[in-house]
Amino acid sequence: MDTRLSGDVIVVGGGVIGLATAVVLAERGLRVRVWTRDPVERTTSAVAGALWWPYHIEPMVSARAWALRSLEIYEELAERPGETGVRLVDGILGETDLDEVEGWAAGRLVGLRRTTAHEYGAGTGVRARLPLIDMSAYLPWLRRRLLRAGGTVEERTVTDLAEAEAPVVVNCTGLDAGRLAADPSVRPVRGQLVVVENPGIDTWLVSTGPDGETAYLFPHAGRLVLGGTAQDDVWSLEPDPKVAEAIVRRCAALRPEVAGARILEHRVGLRPVRGTVRLERAELPDGRTVVHHYGHGGAGVTVAWGCAEEAAGLVLPAAS
């Protein structure tokens, strides 16, 4: 089947995984439509802290390969930060061993080294310059790139993947895949963020305390994103004031100037976690091809491009 003449691909899901996959397919010559329940700016991806790092995702070996491929692309996009929302920013990842990081990312991370006690007194850590993505700019940029490649984006709620009338359907529905793909292994891990005015912090920091609670600070122009939480199997999208207070308190313990920063916004998102990412070709009941591409947990932004290219490899044989 020649999709250039007879049909197209419908990507269901307009988050970062769906958009990146659609861009790769469209730029390889396919006619691509994205169906998204929510506007791109209101998907789960829009809530992401969006520091490049493979977090809360399995299988880790594949995730790291996808992440390193994505890193190449983010480094290119960081040359145009005002357009793409991608910057390379220095920061510290606490409770992390340099040897372990070098085991999979040796030679690829700019400025990678152990932290000094002066830089991070809470314990062992590494310092590196990593992509930090402003999702409020990046998601609209991805959509524009898709449109330039001839793709389209339509806001549409899907109750059954069979509704997507195309030769090939790509299922990038994240948490909704539990219902649409009848996959009970998909579950939410709730994340809550607090956005405050930036008091002058220009480096990022991720730290895990003795109680296992994580604190992170991600600087953007005029604002600072504070996190975070990882609440298993919690579906609520309502910000919890007590959780917000705890987030600010943990972050202020690391950077005292945060304590007096004016709160601009509260955000909540549900990470689509699965035992492992599902990336495979299957069939719909009527025999059409579906490529399942979901379960990226808290690392969707980190692995998006590498994963999208692998997904495209599954789509193209079925579409030819």
For the stretch 72-83, pLDDT in tens is 999 999 999 999
CB-neighbour burial class of residue 76 (10 A; exposed 0-12, middle 13-18, buried 19+): exposed
Give the whole-number percent of the chain exceeding pLDDT 90. 91
**Quick check: 3 pLDDT over 60?**
no
Find out whether 36 is annotated in a ligand binding site: no
Q: What pLDDT does residue 318 have?
A: 67
For the stretch 191-200, pLDDT in tens is 999 999 999 9
**Quick check: 266 pLDDT over 50?**
yes
Give the whole-number percent of the chain exceeding pLDDT 70. 97
- Give the pLDDT band of residue 219 (cuts 50, 70, 90): very high
For the stretch 33-56, pLDDT in tens is 999 999 999 999 999 999 999 988
Q: What pLDDT does residue 148 have?
A: 98
**Quick check: 5 pLDDT over 80?**
no
Find out whether 173 is annotated in a ligand binding site: yes
- Give the pLDDT band of residue 1 (cuts 50, 70, 90): very low
Amino acid at 6: S
Find out whether 11 is annotated in a ligand binding site: no
**Quick check: 62 pLDDT over 80?**
yes
Find out whether 300 is annotated in a ligand binding site: yes
Dist. CA 134–CA 219, nearest whole Å: 9
Find out whether 45 is annotated in a ligand binding site: yes
- Give the pLDDT band of residue 306 (cuts 50, 70, 90): very high
Dist. CA 296–CA 318, nearest whole Å: 23
Find out whether 115 is annotated in a ligand binding site: no
Find out whether 301 is annotated in a ligand binding site: yes
**Quick check: 119 pLDDT over 50?**
yes
> Which architecture, in CATH terms, is 3-319?
3-Layer(aba) Sandwich (3.40)
- Give the pLDDT band of residue 4 (cuts 50, 70, 90): very low
Find out whether 43 is annotated in a ligand binding site: no
**C-beta separation of 47 from 196 below 8 A:** no
**C-beta separation of 172 from 307 below 8 A:** no
Find out whether 123 is annotated in a ligand binding site: no
Helix spans in the chain (H) = 3-6, 16-27, 60-77, 81-84, 98-105, 135-148, 177-180, 241-254, 300-319
Q: What are residue 114's DSSP bridge partners? A: 126
Tokens of 197: 């005015």
Instruction: Kindly report the number of other CB atoms within 10 A of residue 59's CB atom.
Output: 11
For the stretch 157-204, pLDDT in tens is 999 999 999 999 999 999 999 999 999 999 999 999 999 999 999 999
Dist. CA 254–CA 263, nearest whole Å: 18
DSSP 212-229: S-EEEEEEETTEEEEE--
Find out whether 44 is annotated in a ligand binding site: yes
Find out whether 152 is annotated in a ligand binding site: no
**C-beta separation of 136 from 42 below 8 A:** no
